[in-house]
A and B are shown apart, each in its own frame.
Chain A
Amino acid sequence: MTASASSTRNALALRLLPMRIALWRIVQILAFAAIPVVMLLVNTQLAREFEVSRSLSLEVNRSYRLRAQLQAWHSTHQEIEARQRGFVVTRDPAFLEGHDEARERVGTEYERLSRMAERRPEIAAGLPELAALSQSKIAFAQQAIELSRSGRSEAARNLVASGEGRALMDTIRARIGDMDGVERDRLRRRSALAEAARIRTQRTAYALQTLLVLLLIACGMMIARNMRVRKQAMERFRDLSIRNEAIFDSARDGMLIHDSDGIITSLNPATARMYGYRTDELVGKDVRVLFDIPPSREEIQSFLRRLQTRRQDEIGQVQEFVARRRDGLTFAADVATSPVELAEGPCYLAVIRDVSGRKAVEQMKSDFVSTVSHELRTPLTSIAGSLGLLRGGAAGEFPDRADRLIRIAHDNSERLVRLINDFLDIEKIESGKMPFDVRPVPLGRAIGHSVQANRAFAAGRGVALELEPVDLAAAVLADEDRLAQVIDNLISNAVKFSPEGQVVRLSVSGRRRMHRISVVDRGPGIPEEFRERIFGKFAQADTSDTRQKGGTGLGLAIVREIVIRMGGQVSFDTTIGEGTVFHIDLPAAEPEAEAGRPRGHGRRATDLPRAATAKAGT
């Protein structure tokens, strides 16, 4: 998987992470909550089962009592019949002893049956018939007894033999039997239903218990997983911690973290060493103690605010400052600050580098350049000086040839001087050490001076200089000396490349918020192969033709650097055989009543784009 694809996948996973965590948490909560719920359900099922058993046993009890009662009622009738038979056959009054009592019992028992049959519509429905049969039977028995008692034994026996009594008893027995059967069946059915319900309940209970066990296992697994995940996270955290600490601790640059109030929360050993403190001495301190001249709290706050709103690619810009050690010694330092979101809130990581070494090297280089320039210029002064005197006739007349030789030597010594000057200039500009005192400069005056200064030189080559009228109000923001240097250079080039008798024209035009200075010559034009390199260093060196013109090869490079540093542009148009025009565009300025007076915020190029300074410095 390509780096970008896998990182996309990681980014997606990272974004979904909170959702996944939330989901998992919900699942866990549900699982754990389900346990008591399931246990409750199990309890409910058991209670239901118990209830079913209880009501069933009640039913059974009632059912048997009813059937017993039916049988008892039946027995009572049988007893009446037996007594009646016995008396009819033997005429023994002993058989009649319990007869009345039995008859009463029939009534009581019937009442009892009616009560019991209140919930038994099928039974209750048959009771009236039973009652009728009972009455008939008792009446029959009574009749037989009366007959016997009154001495009409024959008639009594005939009554009994008629079978009516027996038929009644049979019917009663049959009815009782039916009712008993109905009741028995009913009970059986009820039992079966109850049993089925009980089995269902039992099954449900088992199922719930199984579910409970599974839930417990699942919860157990979840707990185990959580513990494992936590352990992994701890390990990863520990690993990351160790890694970061290793980087933090072993870095050679100082690193510290401070909060949005500027209080240092942590720092690495390099910082402590750099500043001569112990690590614990700086924790909790305001970051301002690290500055020789501490910025105000407001400055720090606004700086941190700007950091927060800056785009990603601007994070970590380098700033120079002077640091102060514990013992009061100061050193030059670079710091790059970037915001970092930590658990405790918005914090800032500052990476500090002691650049006194680099500064020392830069200083050495500067000193070297100064020394060299002095050392080179001193003998050159003597050479150019003596040759100048000779050429000027201060030592008398010379033969032609000597004259020519002296002229050659003098010209070249002057060229050397210009070369050294140009070298030093361009070194200064490129290392950002050339000061640009930018103020409004009236163009008319600036160009006029340059034209004036170069008129003699131009005249010496038979070239005229013309300046088209310049609006008095036209002014640019520039360093006056540098501007003069630039215009001088362009005029000098134009003159050198103009054939004798020609004119070099200067003019000013306005374009939007810039002014354009144009220098036009009627020279041969710039050949195709040069145009790309014309602003490069020693671009002329290739053609011996141009070397004769006496240029150093650095002139246009210097012009370009200066114009750019002043916020402008340089460009040219050329036509072979017709001439060349160079344009300098510079930012327009409000002209001052008294030109050259500072406006109160004359910029210095060293204040401008820090990136440029920082870049040049590294």
Chain B
Amino acid sequence: MIVNRILYVDDEEDIREIAAMALELDPGFEVRTCASGQEAVRVAPVWRPDLVLLDIMMPGMDGPTTFEQLRVRPELDQVPVVFISARTRTEEMQRLTRLGAAGVIAKPFDPMKLAAIARAYLPA
């Protein structure tokens, strides 16, 4: 069975825990979390996730900045990055997709659906 690696980045500990639990409902997922953009930039090139779920509003390095930093790495530039945003109206989504994101997930998300949504972003 192919195991997909999902990297979840969010500064909130509780949300990381919930997200990890929600994603792990899918047996084909291996989940790792990062507490900050900086950590993600350190971890991702090494761990090589198949999908990155990135919170937007984080102190220090925010979502979009982290995204840029990840994109710079050649080994990561094909990895789909999905933003998690509290604001999911059209203009926000347009702005983020223009940045190159694969998509946007609204926060708060339904934890029971998160795994399915993540799987939809993975290449078939």
Residues on A facing B (Cβ under 8 Å)? 370, 373-374, 377-382, 384-386, 388-389, 391-392, 394-395, 417, 434-435, 437, 479, 481
Q: Is there an interface contact between B18 and A389, defined as CB atoms closer than 8 Å?
A: yes
**Smallest beta-carbon distance B6→chain A, Å:** 16
**Smallest beta-carbon distance B9→chain A, Å:** 14
Provide the residues of chain B in CB contact with A479, threshold 8 Å. Answer: 90
Using A374-B57, A374-B86, A437-B90 as known contacts, say yes or no to A385 and B12 having CB atoms under 8 A apart.
no
Provide the residues of chain A in CB contact with B19, threshold 8 Å. Answer: 385
Provide the residues of chain A in CB contact with B57, threshold 8 Å. Answer: 374
Provide the residues of chain B in CB contact with A417, threshold 8 Å. Answer: 108
Q: When chains A and B are docked, how far (Å) is the Cα of A479 from the Cα of B89?
A: 12
Q: Does B25 contact A (CB under 8 A)?
A: yes
Q: Is there an interface contact between B25 and A377, defined as CB atoms closer than 8 Å?
A: no
Q: Is there an interface contact between A435 and B15, defined as CB atoms closer than 8 Å?
A: no
Q: Is there an interface contact between A392 and B111, defined as CB atoms closer than 8 Å?
A: yes
Nearest 3 CB-CB pairings of A with B: A385-B18, A382-B14, A381-B108
Q: Does B99 contact A (CB under 8 A)?
A: no
Q: When chains A and B are docked, how far (Å) is the Cα of A392 from the Cα of B18?
A: 12
B90's partner among A373, A374, A481 (CB-CB below 8 A) is A481
**Smallest beta-carbon distance B80→chain A, Å:** 22
Provide the residues of chain A in CB contact with B12, threshold 8 Å. Answer: 378, 381-382
Q: When chains A and B are docked, how far (Å) is the Cα of A570 from the Cα of B29?
A: 47
Using A378-B12, A389-B22, A394-B21 as known contacts, say yes or no to A384 and B86 having CB atoms under 8 A apart.
no
Q: When chains A and B are docked, how far (Å) is the Cα of A380 from the Cα of B19?
A: 13
**Smallest beta-carbon distance A101→chain B, Å:** 151
Q: When chains A and B are docked, how far (Å) is the Cα of A389 from the Cα of B110?
A: 9
Q: Is there an interface contact between A381 and B112, defined as CB atoms closer than 8 Å?
A: no
Q: When chains A and B are docked, how far (Å) is the Cα of A378 from the Cα of B86?
A: 8
Q: Does B109 contact A (CB under 8 A)?
A: yes
Task: Contacts A374-B57, A394-B21 known; list 9 others, CB within 8 Å.
Answer: A370-B87, A378-B107, A384-B111, A385-B109, A389-B22, A389-B111, A392-B25, A394-B111, A479-B90
Using A382-B12, A382-B14 as known contacts, say yes or no to A388 and B90 having CB atoms under 8 A apart.
no
**Smallest beta-carbon distance A368→chain B, Å:** 15
A392's partner among B15, B109, B112 (CB-CB below 8 A) is B112
Chain B 78-99 interface 0/1 with A at a Cβ cutoff of 8 Å (1 = within)? 0000000011011100000000
**Smallest beta-carbon distance A354→chain B, Å:** 29
Q: Is there an interface contact between B108 and A380, defined as CB atoms closer than 8 Å?
A: yes
Provide the residues of chain B in CB contact with A395, threshold 8 Å. Answer: 21
Point out which of A380, A381, A386 has the most chain B C-beta atoms below 10 A from its C-beta.
A381
Q: Is there an interface contact between B90 and A386, defined as CB atoms closer than 8 Å?
A: no
Q: Is there an interface contact between A388 and B15, defined as CB atoms closer than 8 Å?
A: no
Using A378-B12, A381-B15, A394-B25 as known contacts, say yes or no to A388 and B112 having CB atoms under 8 A apart.
yes
18 A–B contacts, CB within 8 A, in A order: A373-B87, A374-B86, A377-B107, A377-B108, A378-B12, A378-B86, A378-B107, A385-B109, A386-B18, A388-B110, A389-B112, A392-B112, A394-B22, A394-B25, A394-B111, A395-B21, A434-B89, A481-B89
Provide the residues of chain B in CB contact with A392, threshold 8 Å. Answer: 25, 111-112
Can you name the residue of chain B whose Cβ is closest to the Cβ of A370? B87
**Smallest beta-carbon distance B86→chain A, Å:** 5
Provide the residues of chain A in CB contact with B14, threshold 8 Å. Answer: 379, 382, 385-386
Provide the residues of chain B in CB contact with A389, threshold 8 Å. Answer: 18, 21-22, 111-112
Provide the residues of chain A in CB contact with B111, threshold 8 Å. Answer: 384-386, 388-389, 392, 394
Q: When chains A and B are docked, how far (Å) is the Cα of A434 from the Cα of B87?
A: 12
Q: When chains A and B are docked, how far (Å) is the Cα of A395 from the Cα of B18?
A: 11
**Smallest beta-carbon distance B45→chain A, Å:** 28
Q: When chains A and B are docked, how far (Å) is the Cα of A434 from the Cα of B91?
A: 10
**Smallest beta-carbon distance B124→chain A, Å:** 23
Query: Which B residues from 1 to 42 make CB contacts under 8 A with A?
Result: 12, 14-15, 18-19, 21-22, 25
Provide the residues of chain B in CB contact with A380, threshold 8 Å. Answer: 108
**Smallest beta-carbon distance B111→chain A, Å:** 4
Using A374-B57, A394-B111, A417-B108 as known contacts, say yes or no to A381 and B90 having CB atoms under 8 A apart.
no
Q: Is there an interface contact between B108 and A435, defined as CB atoms closer than 8 Å?
A: no
Q: When chains A and B are docked, how far (Å) is the Cα of A341 from the Cα of B9?
A: 67
Q: When chains A and B are docked, how far (Å) is the Cα of A381 from the Cα of B90?
A: 21
Q: Is there an interface contact between B18 and A382, defined as CB atoms closer than 8 Å?
A: yes
Can you name the residue of chain B whose Cβ is closest to the Cβ of A378? B12
Q: Is there an interface contact between A381 and B89, defined as CB atoms closer than 8 Å?
A: no
Can you name the residue of chain A whose Cβ is closest to the Cβ of B107? A381
Can you name the residue of chain B whose Cβ is closest to the Cβ of A392? B112
Provide the residues of chain A in CB contact with B25, threshold 8 Å. Answer: 392, 394
**Smallest beta-carbon distance A373→chain B, Å:** 6
**Smallest beta-carbon distance B32→chain A, Å:** 18
Q: When chains A and B are docked, how far (Å) is the Cα of A386 from the Cα of B86?
A: 17
**Smallest beta-carbon distance A421→chain B, Å:** 9
Using A380-B108, A394-B25, A417-B108 as known contacts, say yes or no to A385 and B15 having CB atoms under 8 A apart.
yes
